Amino acid sequence: MDKNILEEMAKVKITQVKSSIDRCTKQKDTLKFLGLRKMNASVEKEATPQTLGMIRVVQHLVEVTEL
């Protein structure tokens, strides 16, 4: 890929706002792969199609803001 494309990728801040207790395994694993372990924990990730797909799976458990 072109270096300019990589530098211009947007970043998103993902914050877990609801608990993963009593959620299916797929949702728990998705939170884990996003790097969210506890309530109110936040991570910054590149807004790649893969990351946005994972966010969509747990959109009811997280809050997303663009940076």
Task: Tell me the per-residue pLDDT of 37-48, one tens digit each, with 9 for 90 and over.
Answer: 999 999 999 999
Domains and CATH numbers, the chain: 3-66 (3.30.1390.20)
How many Å apart are CA 10 and CA 57, to the nearest integer? Answer: 20
Q: What is the pLDDT of residue 40?
A: 96
Tell me how far the alpha carbon of residue 37 is from its chain's centroid. Answer: 12
Say how many residues make up the chain: 67
* pLDDT tens digits, one per residue of 5-46: 555 678 999 999 999 999 999 999 999 999 999 999 999 999
Tokens of 33: 């792969």
pTM of the complete model: 0.83
